[in-house]
Amino acid sequence: MKGNSNIILEEIIYKGAEASLFKGKWFDKTVLIKQRIPKKYRIVELDDKIRRFRTVREAKMLIAVKDSGIPVPQVYEIDLNAYWIVMKYIQGKKLKNILHLVDGEKRRDYFKRIGKYIALMHKKNFIHGDLTTSNIIITENENIFFVDFGLSNRSDSIEDRSVDLHLFKRVLMSTHGSYFNECYDNLLGGYEEEYGKDSSEIFERISVIESRGRYIEKEERKK
């Protein structure tokens, strides 16, 4: 399947509600193509505008995050007619799929490094917005890459940093409960090491966010 003259779509990797991912070729490079799909319930003109805006926003975020020294796929091209972001294909495995296959020492190393990278993002005012073990790729030579910045934004808010970490914490608890303590402890350790003493305020806010959640759940049960 072909796109424009520079891009060849070879296979679909994932089809979601918001976007589809394809593996393909861009000139002589193996690439990942992310295409935002149309929403039939939206007016066509509005849908076009939203998809174009989100495509540009995500591509700009990827470029800015990479320029800050955080490992994310390199953006090669943006096609606003097809709503494509063409980026480097990262050969590796989702952290979610290999966490149970590695030993404790390697898990601790992964999460300490992940914590440092998240802290670096936050220091640069980048909020990922969807930190999960599915959005972290481990390559064959043990490099870490963060992917899927579709929900990312820029913010200097302590609350937004804490929410980013809190969502990741919930993913670890629900999906990787057996390894939660060692993973989360090393995540926070790496984060604190990179972010510095001000990280304590961020960690404290996580507890406040969790308290709110428990209160809402309690009120919902009363209804």
219: pLDDT strictly greater than 80 = no
Residue where one domain finishes, among candidates 41, 64, 88: 88
Supply the pLDDT for residue 162.
Answer: 97
Phi first, then psi: what are they for 67, rounded to 5°? -65, -20
**Residue 58 sits in which domain range?**
7-88
On whether both 79 and 102 belong to a single domain, the answer is: no
216: pLDDT strictly greater than 60 = no
How far apart are the C-alpha atoms of 17 and 37, rounded to whole Å? 8
The structural domain count of the chain equals 2
In a domain, 175, yes or no: yes
What mean pLDDT is predicted for residues 52-73?
97
On whether both 160 and 84 belong to a single domain, the answer is: no
On whether both 67 and 99 belong to a single domain, the answer is: no
Q: Which residues neighbour 38 within 8 Å (Cβ) at sequence distance 6 or greater?
A: 44, 47, 51
Average pLDDT, the chain: 92
For every residue of the chain, which 3-state class applies, written as one string?
Answer: CECCCCEEEEEEEEECCCEEEEEEEECCEEEEEEEECCCCCCCHHHHHHHHHHHHHHHHHHHHHHHHCCCCCCCEEEEECCCCEEEEECCCEEEHHHHHHHCCHHHHHHHHHHHHHHHHHHHHCCEECCCCCHHHEEEECCCCEEECCCCCCEECCCHHHHHHHHHHHHHHHHHHCHHHHHHHHHHHHHHHHHHHCCCHHHHHHHHHHHHHHHHHHHHHHHHC
On whether both 201 and 123 belong to a single domain, the answer is: yes
Query: For residue 109, what is the domain's CATH number?
Result: 1.10.510.10
On whether both 159 and 218 belong to a single domain, the answer is: yes
On whether both 112 and 38 belong to a single domain, the answer is: no
On whether both 160 and 172 belong to a single domain, the answer is: yes
In a domain, 149, yes or no: yes
Instruction: Return the structure tokens found at 81.
Output: 């007619």
In a domain, 166, yes or no: yes
On whether both 127 and 213 belong to a single domain, the answer is: yes
In a domain, 35, yes or no: yes
Supply the pLDDT for residue 88.
Answer: 97
In a domain, 2, yes or no: no
On whether both 109 and 209 belong to a single domain, the answer is: yes
What mean pLDDT is predicted for residues 152-162?
97
2: pLDDT strictly greater than 50 = no
217: pLDDT strictly greater than 80 = no
In a domain, 179, yes or no: yes
- Give percent of the chain with pLDDT exceeding 90: 83
Which position among 67, 130, 156, 198 bears the catalytic label?
130
On whether both 164 and 146 belong to a single domain, the answer is: yes
On whether both 83 and 179 belong to a single domain, the answer is: no
What mean pLDDT is predicted for residues 213-218?
46
On whether both 98 and 205 belong to a single domain, the answer is: yes
Query: For residue 48, what is the domain's CATH number?
Result: 3.30.200.20
What mean pLDDT is predicted for residues 143-148?
97
Supply the pLDDT for residue 39.
Answer: 87
Q: Is 103 one of the catalytic residues?
A: no
Supply the pLDDT for residue 213.
Answer: 60
In a domain, 1, yes or no: no
